[in-house]
Structure 1
Amino acid sequence: MNDPLAQDKDAIAASVVLDYLQDHPEFFQHYPQLLQQMRLPHQQRGSVSLVERQLEMQRTKIAALEDDITRLMSVARQNEHIFHALNTLHLALLQNPTLQDAEQALQQFAKSMPQVHACRLVCLQPDSSAISQYQLLLSRRLSSDNVYLGRLNKEEQQPLFGESIHSVALLQIGSGPGLALLAFGSEQDDHFQPAMDRLFIRHLAKLLLLVLPGHDDS
């Protein structure tokens, strides 16, 4: 059985050593031989020198930084691609399009987006029988926000897409007589996720509110 008193003494001694080394960073400059003599436990290699352990930690840190840079560059390329695709969509929509023209422009935009496999634009008039098909979707997913990113259950998805679509981006445009629903679908389970940034899709909502026939910004 371990002696609690001995454990306390060891903890105090370790604390004293830690404080001393933090206050005297030049210690190993005065005693460089200790760097090679000290051995540290290592899971794969049994034990390694302090210098080897420091080098290993630095390599791990550099690898993590390289991964972060790669990820940020990938996000930047994706955002640049979306930006150029949105510019093309702007030009198509700002030419006073009909509803059919707007649908075609949105289909082209969807095709240019990686991992986006479907697009639907649905105009829902209050007196239309079609709105009843989407009432469950509107009340469950878009009642508190005009954007939803993620997955739908089978009942919610049925009016929009087939079973091959596994994640969606939903966008409610306007309200009342001008209500419309834009949906993008992906066959990837996690392509659209709730935590994703919504800057571009909210911008698209404002644009469509301005240009879709029967809509305005009032």
Structure 2
Amino acid sequence: MSGVNTQNQPQEPLSTEETDLVVAEYLEQHPGFFERHPELLERLNIQAKDTGTVSLSGIQLQRQRKRIQELEEEVTDLMSLASANDKTFNEFMSLQQQVLSCERGSDVINAIATKARDLKLTAHVALVGSEHLPLSAESWHRFQQNNLHGKSAYLGRLKQGDRSALFDTLPSSVIPELGSYVILPLDKAGLQGCLVFASEDGGHFRPEQDTLFLRHLALVTAHMLADLPWK
């Protein structure tokens, strides 16, 4: 013979890895396989680390239960957020209306301070280059670099150095050492600074909280302070 006929020669068996790939590829291409062979769901068992040997249907049920639990937790979180935001919305919408009706910059500051007291908080507005609400440009720039990182708000506790830099014109008695803060940048047409709310409760303002309504208040405050006379 001039050549060798290889058609009838036995092929080498596939390795375990190759077989796994073939099976996985087949199941991906035929998603209805287990619908046509439902008996396999109970007959094929898998060794699980936590629960021992379980069937494919058991694994599927476990995953469904886990996902349902995750969804329930997400819904609970959203309901809590919505409830908290509803109160925040009412409080700060009324404050925004007051701020928008102000005719002087000093009235804006007084309105914010009054609302903060009603909520058992303290409020502070500081502006770079302002005679009435002074804030060091260097201190504000350093705080932004160290804490904001491009974010629209900072929530949580403050280090002593940050408190001193932002509130150096205020008596230390009104700045809660162990409290929590929300700090919102004010930035509009040459106006730079921050709007701050502080609580003596160290857990009142937390990084995971939503700041939608406060950010809108900061936007309105910046707009009014940039356009209104001080007195």
- 2:140 corresponds to which residue? 138
Q: TM-score normalized by structure 2? A: 0.66
Number of residue-to-residue matches in the alignment: 203
| Compared CA separation, residues 136 and 170, structure 1 to 2 (3 A) | farther
Task: Judge conservation of contact 1:169–1:184 (CA < 8 Å) in 2.
Answer: yes
Q: How far apart, in 2, do the equivalents of 1:179 and 1:17 lie?
A: 63
Equivalence for 2:227: 216
Distance in 2, matches of 1:102 and 1:127, equals 16
> What fraction of aligned residue pairs are identical, expressed as a percent?
27
Matched ranges for 1:1-218 at <5 A: 9-96=15-102, 101-110=107-116, 117-122=121-126, 126=130, 131=134, 134-142=136-144, 148-150=153-155, 151-158=157-164, 159=167, 161-172=175-186, 181-186=194-199, 187-188=201-202, 191-193=205-207, 199-212=212-225, 215-216=226-227
Cα distance, 1:53 vs structure 2: 1.0
- Say whether the 8 Å CA contact 1:173–1:209 is kept in structure 2: yes
Task: Give the Cα separation in 2 of the matches to 1:173 and 1:89.
Answer: 19
Radius of gyration: which is bigger? 2
User: Which secondary structure state, in structure 2, belongs to the residue aligned with residue 16 of structure 1?
Assistant: helix
Change (3 A) 1:75 1:197: closer
CA change 1:124–1:24 in 2 (3 A) is closer
Instruction: In structure 1, list runs of 5 or more residues that go unmatched.
Output: 1-7
Contact 2:123 2:196 in 1 (8 A): yes
Aligned-pair CA distance for 1:163: 0.9
Calculate the TM-score normalised by the size of structure 1. 0.69
Partner Cα separation in structure 2 for residue 112 and residue 63 of structure 1: 39
Q: Gaps spanning 5+ residues in structure 2: where?
A: 1-13
User: What CA distance in whole angstroms lies between the structure 1 residues aligned with 2:204 and 2:16?
Assistant: 50
Higher RCO structure, 1 or 2 (CA under 8 Å, sep 6+): 2
CA distance change for structure 1 residues 138 and 11 in 2, over 3 Å: closer, same or farther?
same
Which deviations, in whole Å up to 9, do the C-alpha atoms of 1:157-204 show, x marking residues without a partner?
A: 03262312244314336687x7664211244369353x8766434432
Contact 1:147/1:172 (CA < 8 Å) preserved in 2? no
CA distance in 2 between counterparts of 1:175 and 1:99 reads 16
Seen in structure 2, the aligned counterparts of structure 1 residues 209 and 28 have a Cα distance that, compared at 3 Å, is closer
The answer as to whether partners of 1:166 and 1:185 remain within 8 angstroms in 2 is yes
SS of the equivalent of 1:72 reads helix
How far apart are residue 89 of structure 1 and its match? Answer: 0.5
